[in-house]
Structure 1
Amino acid sequence: MASTLLSKTLLVNRFIHSFSSPSGNTQIFTSVFCKKLFQFQANSTNVAYNPTRRFSSFMASSVSTHRAQFSSKSFTTDDPVVSPDWLHSNLKQPDLKVLDASWYMPDEQRNPIQEYQVAHIPGALFFDVDGVSDRTSKLPHMLPSEEAFAAVVSALGIDNKDGVVVYDGKGLFSAARVWWMFRVFGHDRIWVLDGGLPKWRTLGYDVESSASGDAILKATAASEAIERIYQGLAVGPITFQTKFQPHLVWDLEKIQENIAGRTHQHIDARSKGRFDGTVPEPRKGIRSGHVPGSKCIPFAQMLDSSQSLLPADQLKKRFEQEGISLDSPVVTSCGTGVTACILALGLHRLGKQDVAVYDGSWSEWGAHSDTPVDTAAS
């Protein structure tokens, strides 16, 4: 078993090295690497090695079993997160699907697909945040078309009747983006795993290494489906029906209108330094500063030390400290539309289920030479 794992690890590293993109085009790299890695897994002996499996199973079985069972029809959507204990109790329910939606900033030098292969929640499928995006846009991981999203989700085997729990490898980060994406396309039976994979493992719950044959086939089908959609080619049967919610997505024009009209409170999830323009943006060619009239609440202030969403009373206090009224509409933004969704998640816990997200966020606004920008000095 150890020699098999070593051989697989060496091949994985070889794949990563051969497909590294000096241009930084992570969308193409991720899509190609995902397909190659899953092809390798499908053609090799699938050995799921986990040295902590016995200990994890013992720890998981020692947790109280008196927990609510899952029903996609009756489970409330009022709270946007579920606990690791709840997920463990309901993991084998047929109408519950789990997605690993890990994504990392380029400077973190972490590969989400490789990490998924090393350890993921049993039965979880990989959701490619960069890959499931608008291929006609130069901006990172922009929202795909309805047809493309429906094709990907259908290929993953998710139906409209299913409940979906999404998590990531940081605790609560990119999973919020995928939560928002499902809601944009009309699927409200979607929740984020509070604390993500780190909290799941801290509690001693089991993880899987490598992926099952079914997971490999679905991931490959999803990758191919979105490629075919944007090439204008036919795809397999679409079993997931979307219902686009335009009020949850804002573009540059809507932000421009809001500067004058102030119909929505605009909250920026980036760090205070980036918001004030005192530190440079991580992406080249993008000005520093913020949209005039917007306020800054860094996304990390929504989370506790375990990267779990703060309780409602603490979230409410944080928004009130920045002068945000829960009685008025809100739009959120960030760098690339990922952490803005964490603010939306926190506001959802407080009962605001109609928070819009500016999809292009600062990567779009700051790149335009004619969009107004404020800084701390202005």
Structure 2
Amino acid sequence: MASNILTRTLFSTRLLRSSSFLTQKPQLSNSFFNRRSICLQAGAVYIAQKAKAVHWTPCAMASASIGTRAAYSTQSISTNEPVVSVDWLHANLKQPDLKVLDASWYMPDEQRNPIQEYQVAHIPGALFFDVDGISDRTTKLPHMLPSEEAFAGACSALGLENKDGLVVYDGKGLFSAARVWWMFRVFGHDRIWVLDGGLPRWRASGYDVESSASGDAILKASAASEAIEKVYHGQSVSPITFHTKFQPHLVWTLEQVKGNIEEKTHQHIDARSKPRFDGAVPEPRKGIRSGHVPGSKCIPFAQLLDASQTLLPADELKKRFEQEGISLESPLVTSCGTGVTACILALGLHRLGKSDVAVYDGSWTEWGGHPETPVETS
């Protein structure tokens, strides 16, 4: 009991500090995301509200007509198209078996705090998905995939169920949301879509946002992080409302990438910038060599997006890959710096019908930081 009181007190203090962001410019610090401090957050048991049968509009691809609501169940929404428009989401936002996730994450040098920005403004009803927090605790590599049990525990703490349709977005337009889209697919949940253009496009379209300095969503985010900690400390988490089914073909390890250099079973595409790929500039993380995996090709993730940070149409995406000599008829694996923007490549390829693209989870932070892996420069 004393421990629980201390935990809640510490989290309340942290929450009050971050809430000051609502009225003054925050002093952002990477220590906010210190994983070891996450276990000092408030935990709670959440039971997901039972959803009733619903009817959604059928268009999950381009702009949907807000005034037209055809009778479609959640099961009829296509998972072949990986994104939905802001118009579509606005038209269907209040459907009971649709849940929205704010998965904003930023590079350390951007000095942006995603949970504070979430508190200032997010899509109404959105939950906060902590990319750094819902991750593997057994490695020093950033935001690596957690275990199945840990992911199930975290999603259950967020109030998610397998019957839910999920729309995930981020604060840059299309950046870290693709990573969470990929994570859910790795754990067997295909009914997830990325909001094309993210929060910036939502706001530019004139749709409302809400703010909250505390409340149910913040507590659920804390409970999700606490669930992760419990699992990695050998403790059980209950109730489990979200069950996983691991898809090993969607995630690659260092050993698989190393073997592919010789076997060449998969085309390897790197989503980092060309200067980083060429080894012409130093890596942003200390101790990481510059260059690329031998035999890999470079398609910077930004080339798959237009000026409004929405995914390019299929015909333009196809041209981008063809220009770099990528065959859509052969298997593919993608990588980047830490496994985030590699998922944007996977998202674009999914639009082109490639639903089985693997992502090298450790990406260049693991490869370039390993003393014995081969590195090429251009």
Q: TM-score, normalised by structure 1?
A: 0.86
Partners of 1:80 and 1:349 within 8 A in 2 = yes
* SS across alignment from 2:74: coil
Distance 2:88 2:121 in 1: 20
Residues 179-194 of structure 1: matches in 2 within 5 Å?
179-194=181-196
Task: Give the aligned residue type for 2:20.
Answer: L
Q: CA deviation at 1:218?
A: 1.8
Question: Residues 7 and 27 from structure 1, CA distance in 2 versus in 1: closer, same or farther, beyond 3 angstroms?
Answer: closer
> 5+ residue gaps in structure 1?
1-5, 40-62
How far off its partner does 1:72 sit?
2.2
- Whether the aligned pair in 2 keeps the contact of 1:67 and 1:86 (CA below 8 Å) is no
Whether the aligned pair in 2 keeps the contact of 1:347 and 1:353 (CA below 8 Å) is: yes
Structure 2 CA distance for aligned equivalents of residues 12 and 235 of structure 1: 33
Q: What are the Cα deviations for residues 54-91 of structure 1, in whole angstroms up to 9, with x where unaligned?
A: xxxxxxxxx84125566321100010000000000110
Inter-partner Cα distance in structure 2 for 1:137 and 1:69 = 47
The answer (yes or no) to whether the contact 1:30–1:131 under 8 Å persists in 2 is no
1:111-126 equivalences under 5 Å are: 111-126=113-128
Deviations along 1:141-175, one digit per CA (max 9) or x if unpaired, are: 00000000000111111111110000000000000
Is 1:10 matched with 2:20?
yes
Matched with 1:31 is 38
SS at match of 2:140: coil
Q: Could you say if the C-alpha distance between residues 81 and 211 of structure 1 is closer, same or farther in structure 2, counting changes exceeding 3 Å? A: farther
Residue 26 of structure 1 deviates from its aligned partner by 3.3
Aligned to 2:165: 163
In the alignment, is the contact (CA less than 8 A) between 1:70 and 1:93 conserved in 2? Answer: no
SS of 1:371's equivalent? Answer: coil
1:8 Cα shift?
Answer: 8.0
Q: Hey, what does 2:356 align to over in structure 1? A: 354
Structure 2: runs of 5+ lacking an equivalent: 1-15, 45-64
Q: Which of these residues, 66, 69, 72, is aligned with residue 74 of structure 2? A: 72
Deviations 1:229-276, CA, capped at 9 Å, x for gaps: 111112121111100000000000000110000000000000000000
User: What is residue 7 of structure 2 aligned with on the other side?
Assistant: none
Match for 1:231 among 222, 230, 233? 233
Instruction: Tell me, in whole angstroms, the C-alpha distance in 1 between the residues paired with 2:154 and 2:70.
Output: 30
Describe how 1:359-374 pairs up with structure 2 within 5 A. 359-374=361-376
* Alpha carbons of structure 1 residues 263 and 305: separation in structure 2 relative to 1, 3 Å: same
Q: Contact (CA 8 Å) 1:167, 1:192: kept in 2 or not? A: yes
Q: Do the aligned residues in 1 keep the contact of 2:18 with 2:116 (CA within 8 Å)? A: no
Residue type matched to 2:114 in 1? P
1:198 to 194, 200, 203: 200
Contact 2:66 2:90 in 1 (8 A): no
Aligned to 2:290: 288
Q: 1:107 aligns with which of 91, 109, 126?
A: 109
Secondary structure of the 2:275 match is helix
The 1:187–1:27 alpha-carbon spacing in structure 2 relative to 1, beyond 3 Å, is farther
Distance across 2 between alignment mates of 1:306 and 1:68: 29
Give the drift of 1:335. 0.1
User: Using the alignment, how far apart are the partners of 2:72 and 2:203 within structure 1?
Assistant: 21
Q: Distance in 2 between matches of 1:228 and 1:128?
A: 16
Aligned counterparts of 1:30 and 1:168: Cα–Cα separation in 2: 24
1:3 corresponding residue in structure 2: none
With structure 2 as the length reference, what TM-score do the two structures score?
Answer: 0.86
SS of equivalent residue, structure 1 residue 117: helix
Aligned-pair Cα RMSD in Å: 2.4
Quote the residue 2:250 is aligned against. Answer: 248
